[in-house]
């Protein structure tokens, strides 16, 4: 029996007619090698941004239902063109909308979740000898009263469409094609020595993505993890094997820094002179949670004379909202002051097992000290150590940490021992 391959092509891989023809040739090559293919596409280039912009010119408050129907057209456009490009070189192909491909979601317009995948049509078309192109990033509701309302899965959602289809179709391979060769130890634009990571565990990949590496939608990684889908991240423009995201191999990966994530889009809020008594943290964080503001790092100091300082980080874009929500609380509860700083950044070293091994934190702080970088906040998890630093020092910090953890060197099984020496 032939292999079933799910491929996903990102917007930059489909940005114009030439690139679409290039993608069609890649698909044709895979098919000539004997594979059956289900290909998920993103919208061409910046199409989604343009559609959002268009709607914003019409109204400040677009109807979420109409918005989803509008955004879904981006992927219809690229899907049909890829199908035509394949037909033009003699490959039987058909494009399907997300709904036609059986992607069923809840009814949360703009960030719907996949409830089920019912790919009867995909299977039938493949059995009929066709390459099936599926419009990514979208599905349709399955609720009896309003069946078939088109929904979208949130920015970057085509990755999730691909992994969901790979899981349900029990694909032999799931490949995410993009404009970089894979997942790197850190952003190569900041640190030229950054190295491609050949294999990374789901948990490490999720942490990298959460801490700022923008390669794949995190939901896609989660879905891959839950369903045991091995995900290859590869370049559309080369034959490099790329990065495999899969279950971590405990023998090789334990106690090794895998990557370094940088996030400039964070801001710090400090509440000064907060009364040291039960209920204060709830009074501060409840309203933020209700307003959907994501709190990341939280640091509270030891109290002195009945008061303490409380600092936390929020995404840059939510800073104004956080200030607005907290202003009355600061006054009501009698805090001394609230200060905010959006010129901070987050650097995180990530790797299975490092967060509870003392040598790594010491090495991180030492490298930052040697580079003259002041650490404003620290947080750790089992697989991560994060520092908040001044935003204008993020590049110095990245280079220093990349060197300190020897991330430019190929991975070996004795890296833990080497680090300790």
- 3-state DSSP assignment of residue 247: coil
Single out the residue of 45, 98, 156, 273 in contact with Mg ion (rule: CB under 5 A).
156
Instruction: Tell me the closest approach of the beta carbon of residue 160 to ligand ASP, in angstroms.
Output: 8
- 3-state DSSP assignment of residue 267: strand
Q: What angle do CA 181, 215, 415 make, to 5 degrees?
A: 70
Single out the residue of 155, 254, 264, 321 in contact with ligand ASP (rule: CB under 6 A).
155
Contacts of 49 by beta carbon, 8 Å cutoff, 6+ apart: none
Q: Between residue 320 and residue 379, which ones bind ligand ASP under the rule CB under 6 A?
A: none
Q: Are 175 and 6 spatial neighbours (Cβ–Cβ below 8 Å)?
A: yes
Stretch that binds ligand ASP, among 155-163, 244-252, 282-290, 346-354 (CB under 6 A): 155-163
- In degrees and rounded to multiples of 5, residue 3 shows phi and psi of -70, 145
- In degrees and rounded to multiples of 5, residue 278 shows phi and psi of -60, 145
Single out the residue of 9, 137, 202, 360 in contact with ligand ASP (rule: CB under 6 A).
137
With CB under 6 A, what is the number of residues at the site for ligand ASP? 12
178/311 with CB nearer Mg ion:
178
Instruction: Tell me the closest approach of the beta carbon of residue 112 to ligand ASP, in angstroms.
Output: 13
Single out the residue of 102, 119, 139, 156 in contact with ligand ASP (rule: CB under 6 A).
156
Q: Does 212 bind ligand ASP (CB under 6 A)?
A: no
Single out the residue of 157, 182, 201, 242 in contact with ligand ASP (rule: CB under 6 A).
157
Single out the residue of 13, 151, 158, 185 in contact with ligand ASP (rule: CB under 6 A).
158
**How many C-alpha atoms does 275 have within 13 Å on its Cβ side?**
14
Which residues sit opposite 380 in a β-bridge? Answer: 385
User: In 209-258, at which residue ranges do the beta strands (DSSP E only) sit?
Assistant: 231-235, 243-246
DSSP 8-state secondary structure symbol assigned to residue 310: E
Q: Does 136 bind ligand ASP (CB under 6 A)?
A: yes
Per-residue binder mask for ligand ASP (CB under 6 A), 31-60, x = binder: -----------xx----x------------
Report CA-CA distances (Å) from 256 to 14, 268, 326: 36, 29, 40
Instruction: Tell me the closest approach of the beta carbon of residue 232 to ligand ASP, in angstroms.
Output: 17
Rounded to an integer, what distance in angstroms lies between the CA atom of residue 84 and that of residue 79?
A: 9
Tell me which residues touch ligand ASP (CB under 6 A): 11, 42-43, 48, 74, 136-137, 155-159
């Amino acid at each position: 029996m032939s292999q079933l391959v799910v491929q996903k092509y990102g917007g930059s891989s489909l940005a114009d007619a030439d690139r679409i023809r290039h993608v069609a040739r890649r698909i044709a090559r895979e098919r000539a090698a004997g594979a059956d293919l289900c290909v998920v596409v993103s919208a061409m280039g910046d199409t989604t941004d343009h559609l959002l912009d268009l709607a914003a010119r019409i109204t400040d408050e677009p109807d979420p239902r109409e918005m989803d129907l509008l955004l879904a057209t981006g992927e219809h456009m690229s899907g049909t063109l890829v199908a035509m490009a394949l037909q033009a070189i003699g490959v039987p192909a058909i494009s399907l909308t997300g709904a036609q491909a059986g992607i069923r979601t809840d009814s949360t317009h703009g960030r719907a979740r996949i409830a089920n995948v019912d790919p009867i049509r995909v299977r039938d078309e493949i059995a009929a000898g066709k390459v099936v192109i599926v419009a990514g990033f979208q599905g349709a509701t399955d609720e009896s009263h309003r069946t078939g309302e088109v929904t979208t899965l949130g920015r970057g959602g085509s990755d999730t469409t691909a992994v969901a289809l790979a899981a349900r179709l029990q694909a032999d391979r799931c490949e995410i094609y993009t404009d970089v060769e894979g997942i790197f130890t850190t952003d190569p634009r900041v640190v030229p020595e950054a190295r491609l990571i050949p294999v990374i565990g789901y948990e490490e990949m999720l942490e990298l993505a959460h801490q700022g590496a923008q390669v794949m939608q995190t939901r896609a990684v989660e879905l891959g993890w839950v369903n045991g889908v091995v995900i290859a991240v590869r370049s559309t423009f080369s034959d490099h094997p790329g990065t495999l995201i899969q279950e971590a191999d405990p023998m090789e990966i334990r106690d090794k820094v895998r990557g370094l994530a940088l996030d400039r889009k964070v801001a710090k809020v400090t509440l000064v002179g907060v009364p040291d008594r039960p209920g204060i943290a709830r009074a501060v964080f409840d309203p933020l949670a209700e307003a959907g503001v994501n709190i990341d790092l939280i640091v509270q100091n030891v109290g002195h004379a009945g008061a303490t300082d409380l600092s936390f980080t929020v995404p840059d874009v939510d800073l104004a909202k956080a200030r607005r929500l907290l202003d009355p609380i600061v006054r009501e509860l009698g805090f001394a002051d609230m200060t905010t700083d959006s010129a901070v950044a987050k650097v995180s070293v990530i790797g299975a097992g490092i967060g509870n091994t003392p040598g790594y934190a010491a090495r991180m702080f030492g490298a930052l000290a040697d580079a003259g970088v002041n650490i404003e906040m620290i947080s750790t998890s089992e697989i991560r150590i994060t520092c908040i630093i001044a935003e204008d020092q993020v590049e110095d910090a990245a280079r220093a940490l990349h060197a300190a953890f020897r991330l430019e060197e190929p991975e070996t099984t004795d890296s833990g021992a080497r680090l300790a020496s």
